[in-house]
């Protein structure tokens, strides 16, 4: 058997307007899924919707800020209305906009990062789970980061949020396994997206970053999207509460 397909399935991907989320949406559509696309930039979502539709699949555009719980519940309701059901939720929206030691960090910056990377996943998951539990089926993929696997100096806010995403993944996986709902974390290393552009803008920063990656290069968004397909598909049907690290060997370094 090869279960690496999503034919007839429906998925909601957050942060689908660019970067990893866009690649996940494209990959899921190529694997046979209809895809609901959630992010703030409606214009970009329109382009991604066209890419999904080019695969002969349906797309729903959901302009929404993931930190707004009410808006997220509305967006999930709109996706359910359009598709009738949701098989897959990919919690990908997230990121980090600043680096500094905790000693001088304003609490507002800490809170903003936690709201974007952690609270957002609570909102989407709470919106989708009643539906998945009732259907006794579903797969949730939470995008964390290698920054959540160990200390993340100057990014304690982001690292703590992503570590919490991993813990949340494990807790919810155990809470929902009885209903056939699977919840796994996908942990990217350094991937070439807008989020990491500032490192490529500075030769020394890029060199320093890649010097710690055994494969000595940036990951491509497709290299995260394919494992995200695995986790969502029946190929991972006996896998829940797990952490799949895709980082070119970074976390294997002593």
Ligand X SMILES: NC(=O)c1ccc[n+]([C@@H]2O[C@H](COP(=O)([O-])OP(=O)(O)OC[C@H]3O[C@@H](n4cnc5c(N)ncnc54)[C@H](OP(=O)(O)O)[C@@H]3O)[C@@H](O)[C@H]2O)c1
Q: Assess 168 for contact with ligand X (CB under 6 A).
A: no
Q: Does residue 28 carry a catalytic annotation?
A: no
Residue 82 CB, nearest approach to ligand X (Å): 18
* Dist CA 26 CA 222 (whole Å): 9
Nearer to ligand X among residue 6 and residue 228 (C-beta): 228
Q: Return the structure tokens found at 230.
A: 């695995």
Nearer to ligand X among residue 83 and residue 190 (C-beta): 190
The window from 33-41, 54-62, 166-174, 237-245 that contacts ligand X (CB under 6 A) reads: 33-41
Nearer to ligand X among residue 59 and residue 143 (C-beta): 143
Q: Assess 190 for contact with ligand X (CB under 6 A).
A: yes
By C-alpha distance, which of 23, 15, 26 is closest to 59?
A: 26
Q: Return the structure tokens found at 168.
A: 């949340």
The window from 90-98, 132-140, 169-177, 235-243 that contacts ligand X (CB under 6 A) reads: 90-98
- φ, ψ for residue 182, nearest 5 deg: -105, 140
Q: Assess 76 for contact with ligand X (CB under 6 A).
A: no
Indicate the residue whose CB is closest to ligand X: 19
* Dist CA 218 CA 215 (whole Å): 8
- φ, ψ for residue 139, nearest 5 deg: -135, 130
* Run of H or E residues at 216: none
List 28, 158, 190, 218, catalytic entry? 158
Nearer to ligand X among residue 55 and residue 115 (C-beta): 115
The window from 121-129, 172-180, 191-199, 206-214 that contacts ligand X (CB under 6 A) reads: 191-199
Q: Which of 185, 195, 232, 236 binds ligand X (CB under 6 A)?
A: 195
By C-alpha distance, which of 169, 162, 141 is closest to 226?
A: 141
8 Å CB contact between 33 and 6 = yes
Q: Assess 201 for contact with ligand X (CB under 6 A).
A: no
Residue 73 CB, nearest approach to ligand X (Å): 14
8 Å CB contact between 167 and 243 = no
* Dist CA 136 CA 131 (whole Å): 9
Nearer to ligand X among residue 8 and residue 151 (C-beta): 151
In Å, how far are 44, 165, 198, 200 from 209, measured between CA atoms? Answer: 29, 23, 11, 9
Q: Which residues are catalytic?
A: 158
Binding site for ligand X (CB under 6 A): 14-21, 39-41, 44, 65-67, 92-95, 116, 143, 145, 188, 190-191, 193-196
């Amino acid at each position: 058997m090869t279960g690496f397909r999503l034919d007839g399935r429906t998925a909601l991907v957050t942060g689908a307007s660019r970067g990893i989320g866009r690649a996940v949406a494209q990959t899921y559509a190529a694997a046979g899924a209809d895809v609901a696309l959630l992010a703030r930039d409606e214009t970009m979502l329109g382009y991604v919707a066209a890419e999904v539709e080019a695969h002969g699949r349906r797309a729903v555009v959901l302009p929404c800020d993931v930190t707004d719980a009410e808006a997220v519940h509305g967006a999930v309701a709109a996706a359910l209305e359009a598709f009738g059901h949701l098989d897959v939720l990919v919690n990908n929206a997230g990121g980090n906009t600043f680096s500094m030691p905790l000693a001088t960090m304003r609490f507002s910056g800490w809170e903003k990062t936690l709201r974007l990377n952690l609270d957002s996943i609570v909102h989407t998951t709470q919106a989708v789970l009643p539906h998945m539990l009732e259907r006794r089926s579903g797969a949730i993929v939470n995008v964390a980061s290698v920054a959540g696997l160990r200390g993340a100096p100057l990014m304690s806010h982001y690292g703590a949020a992503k570590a919490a995403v991993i813990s949340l993944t494990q807790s919810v996986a155990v809470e929902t396994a009885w209903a056939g709902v699977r919840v796994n974390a996908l942990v990217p290393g350094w991937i070439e997206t807008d989020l990491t552009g500032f490192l490529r803008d500075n030769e020394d920063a890029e060199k320093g970053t890649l010097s710690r990656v055994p494969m000595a290069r940036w990951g491509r968004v497709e290299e995260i999207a394919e494992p995200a397909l695995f986790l969502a598909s029946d190929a991972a049907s006996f896998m829940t509460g797990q952490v799949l690290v895709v980082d070119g060997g970074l976390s294997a370094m002593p």
